[in-house]
Chain A
Amino acid sequence: MKTLFKKRLGAHLTELTKYLRLVFNDYFVLALVFMIGGLGYYYSNALKQLTTGLWWAPLLIIIVLLISVQTGRMATLIEDPDYVFLLPQEAELIGYLKRAFWYSTILAALMQLLFWIVLMPFIQVTVSASAPQLFSLLGTIIFLKVAWMNADFARKYHLQHKWMGNRWLFRLIIPVVVLAISIYVNYFIGVVLAAIVMIGGLFTQNAWKKRSVDWQTLIADENSRMHSIYQFFNLFTDVPSLKGSVKRRRYLDWLLHKIKLLPDNTYLYLYAHGIIRDNEMSGLYVRLTVIGTLLLVFIKGEVLPIVLCLLFLYLIGFQMIPFYFHFDDNAFVHIYPVTTEFQLKNFQRVLLMMMGTVAVIFAITVIAVNLTAPVTVIGVLIGEAIEVGLFIFMYVPRRIKKSEFSR
């Protein structure tokens, strides 16, 4: 059982590395460097304007730390067939799961450390915390995370006392209370409370570790965890194990009815239906568009809106590229008597529609928000037009040729 986890972890890490290589391609790294640099600059500037005693600062700290505590789930690396093949080993599964638990906990603790480091200057400035206080805050979030993870572990068993795996209790209620005590009352009481919660939580293991495993929760939890990881990777590349769900979306039929039923439009028909009804695709598209628009509403500046527009337009276009191959696994498209020369043209038309819509939405937002800054408005309009053109007619054909080659 111990070796099984090691083996699974090895395979899992190999898979992650494979995808991470694709995620951190040159363009993305460049975009990321700019983004982190920009945010860092923005953050350090903002810090200079802050003083001690702002009423909203403690609240913001609690919210950010609460988000921090939510990051990182228990990675069990359990697979669907396990409930059949590992059925007789169920009593030994605890050894396997314990390894998984500690592995996930250590990763999650590192995440807490990261959040803490980023937030540290803000805490120092706004509530003027001392070093011992800061360190006890770090201890608090790590202990809370261990208790969180322990509850996530507990719910994978058929519990006699359901509260031991209660998500509301260990994910929200206890962290909110303990963090509020830390920030508003005393950091040291907070860390002691968090430690008590953690130790008590770990003690509950004795109550359930000999009980039967709730395979359905175990498998469903792991699948949902992997699904979110794959969803992230799917932003950058085509993930074969990601099976998207499909929605009818009757209210968009008027768009689809516009397609003329000619042989040349075969792929247009497929791509349009696919993108509209496939939840992964349309979900990503809508999410990124909404986030981009919201950012444009709130962010001011002469150049920043232009950069944001172009960045989001690029991200949206980029994550649609793998969809070009979406129907390649389907035998029908290879049987149809249509030439593939129209595939790229059809795909470009769909892309033009999608990116054009986003460009118009962004442009309207920018114009509405920055009426007084004509330079920004003109910059956005011209920048978007150039980007869409270059992206669809220069970049996409090359990129697809490259991917086709490596497939």
Chain B
Amino acid sequence: MTLQVSNLVGGYSQVPVLKDVTFDVKDGELVGLIGLNGAGKSTTINHIIGLLTPFKGSVKINGVAINDDVKKYKQQIAYIPEQPIVYKELTLKEHLEMTMLAYNLDQNEAWKRADKLLKTFRLENKLNWFPDNFSKGMRQKVMIVCAFLTNAKLFIIDEPFLGLDPLAVNDLLNLISERKKQGASILMSTHVLDTAQRYCDRFVLLHDGKVRTEGTLAQLQALFPEAGNSLNDIYLTLAREGEAS
């Protein structure tokens, strides 16, 4: 069990956005976090990476909560934000070095991995450029390279597919499955449902700050037989139901 979110109540101010959210991500599993805009996906992620403190409930990674041991908790996470965010005064190369320093990676080994990743995402000739001047998609690639440079046990990926070219989307999915095989867990929030349907092992559907339902595609199909076969159909039915009620 890598990530365990239990009875989480939380949000930004006194008004809770999340109302009793419980789900988990097991070792070697890719879980898709799905929901409308404002359903609480990003809030959930902000709680997991420790930007927000829970009002009630807990978030544990391999049994460690953040205030038990900040270091142990944080070192297990790699995070790719929805909006790529880079240092405006650092070059691409310096961003990679920063990541190696922060995660305390072995320089030789990390550079070997970095070279491979840079080649995959066609950034290898831009090492001395400033990512701040890159396009959104390219900056996103920088974030991906930095995250997958690490040996994190839990990857948190917030809406990775918007702005990436189709080749990069494919490369990212390959990276994810490679890490999955090595035992890492991945939590990914997304709106691109047909991609999610093909790659995620399980889905957590958030609606209005609560877990509406969760399970594998087969389980969801069994739960809502009249909704249709694809994740898209099931999701649309549930979302409309949620709006109506």
Contact = CB atoms under 8 A, between A and B. Distances in A.
A278 to B, nearest CB: 22
B51 A216 contact: yes
Contacts of B79: 84, 87
A86 to B, nearest CB: 6
A371 B192 CA distance: 74
B79 to A, nearest CB: 6
Interface string A85-108: 111111110000000000000000
Interface string B197-213: 00000000000000000
A5 interface: no
B153 to A, nearest CB: 11
A4 B90 CA distance: 13
User: Which of B51, B53, B69, B78 has the most chain A CB atoms closer than 10 A to its own CB?
Assistant: B51
User: Which of B71, B85, B102 has the most chain A CB atoms closer than 10 A to its own CB?
Assistant: B102
A87 B49 contact: yes
Contact of B66 (A80, A92, A212): A212
Contact of B86 (A81, A83, A87): A81
Interface string A193-217: 0000000000000000011111110
B209 to A, nearest CB: 19
Nearest to B156: A87
Contact of A88 (B52, B66, B77): B77
Interface size class of A (residues with CB under 8 A): 20 to 34
Interface string B52-71: 11000000000000110111
A213 B67 CA distance: 10
Contacts of B89: 11
A208 to B, nearest CB: 10
Given A90-B74, A91-B71, A212-B53, A81 B87 contact: yes
Given A212-B50, A212-B66, A87 B143 contact: no
Contacts of B86: 81
B22 to A, nearest CB: 21
Contacts of A210: 70
Interface string A213-251: 111100000000000000000000000000000000000
Interface size class of B (residues with CB under 8 A): 20 to 34
A79 interface: yes
Contacts of B49: 83, 87
Interface in B171-205: none
A88 B51 contact: no
A11 to B, nearest CB: 7
B62 to A, nearest CB: 15
B66 A85 contact: no
B137 interface: no
A211 B70 contact: yes
B163 interface: no
A88 B146 CA distance: 13
Contacts of A11: 89
Interface in A4-31: 4, 11
Contacts of A4: 101
16 contacts: A79-B87, A84-B85, A84-B143, A87-B78, A87-B79, A88-B75, A88-B78, A88-B102, A89-B101, A90-B70, A91-B69, A158-B67, A210-B70, A211-B67, A212-B67, A212-B73
Interface of B: 49-53, 66-67, 69-71, 73-75, 77-79, 81, 85-87, 89, 95, 98-99, 101-104, 143, 146, 150, 152
